[in-house]
Amino acid sequence: MSVTLVTLPPHTSPATSPATSPRDRAGHWHALVSGTFVPLDLIAHEDVCPVGTITSRRLGPLRISEVEAGPQTVSRSRRRISQGGAEFLTVTLQQRGTARLTQDGRQALVGPGAFTCSDAGRPYRREHPEHFRFTAFRLPKAALGVTDDELRAVTGTVFNGSSGTSGLIAGYLNRLAAQAADFDPGTGHRLALTTADLLAVLVRERQGRAVRQPPEAARGMLARIEDYILRHLGEPDLSPARIAEAHHISVRYLHKLFRAEGTTVGRWVQRERLDRCRRELSRPARTMPAISAVAHRWGFVSPSHFSRSFRTTYGMSPREWQATTRLRPAAPGAAAPSGAGA
């Protein structure tokens, strides 16, 4: 975990310090914002570039940044996307002031206590018409286990922080940010993955994926089947026929149970296997296992098939995911790594 405090210095007369002229300070602030988040364009809406602060902490693959500054607009164009950072999602929790986020053809007007999600892989614009403070949580999109198309359900949308799933998430994020400095690297890493899981729930809920529940008896059977699958998940020969035989039902009925959940037996098994591989590949650097060994442990016979399935589901290869989530504790006082999403 690293802690970095970056402060834009107050205005100093160009005659005594040319490096802090309004133009230079605006450029400096722009560089700080893009370095903390992803490559962005920035326009300050004050005659004199405002003083601003950015405080960042790292919990495994999650980067938490608190930003306070004056009126400004940041935007992410296709040109900026080509410069890097497309693999990140940022949740921005408004603490003070208001903001307007535009992405995927929608606009979200955000006030204190509410939050938005922005996908750095697609253009967006965030406008702050007044002095503001927000806390941003950036993590790899792959950590959520959802596709880029599924993420469109939550971009350009405001989520209130007072009730329901979004209220639970806002409360969790606020507490996580407040206590981030207290966690050891291992605990912080696990909490980062919990953050990803909560956001995945929000995405699926927003998509209206609440599945139709089967009758009580069928629901009990499905629970037993899922438990059986999870206990045998690492066995390559785990097939629908074997699962059905173990529960004295037909393969046809097995498929019917999973259709009621909006999926198939094969997809459910693969999703669970990939999720366990993803988590194992997220271990801190000193205990990181070989990718082929992880794939084999969770029932993948072919390394190439595992790699293709992982990339299709998470948008990056297992090796890229492993590198993205690897813990790299920074030396005291070291600058935080660049590349995050506003």
Q: What DSSP line would sit under 208-238, residue for residue?
A: T--PPPPPHHHHHHHHHHHHHHHHTTT-TT-
* Alpha-carbon gap, residue 342 to 125, rounded angstroms: 10
Q: What percent of the chain has pLDDT over 90?
A: 53
Is residue 15 scored above 70 in pLDDT?
no
In angstroms, the Cα distances linking 170 to 147, 229, 258 are: 23, 34, 32
* Alpha-carbon gap, residue 330 to 275, rounded angstroms: 28
Contact 152, 278 (CB under 8 A): no
Q: What percent of the chain has pLDDT over 70?
A: 82
Q: Which residue has the tokens 């210095």?
A: 9
Is residue 246 scored above 50 in pLDDT?
yes
pLDDT in tens, 95-141: 999 999 999 999 999 999 999 999 999 999 999 999 999 999 999 98
* Alpha-carbon gap, residue 270 to 310, rounded angstroms: 10
User: How would residue 216 be classed by pLDDT, with cut points 50, 70 and 90?
Assistant: low
Q: Kindly report the CATH number that applies to the domain delimited by 216-325.
A: 1.10.10.60
Quote the pTM value: 0.65
For the beta carbon of residue 261, count every other beta carbon within 10 angstroms. 16
Question: 3-state DSSP helix/strand/coil percent for the chain, to nearest 5?
Answer: 45, 20, 35
The pLDDT of residue 169 is 96
The pLDDT of residue 24 is 75
Of 182 and 342, more confident: 182
Fold of 3-206: Jelly Rolls (2.60.120)
The pLDDT of residue 204 is 84
Query: Which sequence spans correspond to the domains of the chain?
Result: 3-206, 216-325
The pLDDT of residue 118 is 97
pLDDT in tens, 171-203: 999 999 999 999 998 899 889 989 988 998 899
CA 225 remoteness from chain centre = 31
* Alpha-carbon gap, residue 138 to 93, rounded angstroms: 11
The answer to whether domain 3-206 and domain 216-325 are alike in fold is no
The pLDDT of residue 104 is 93
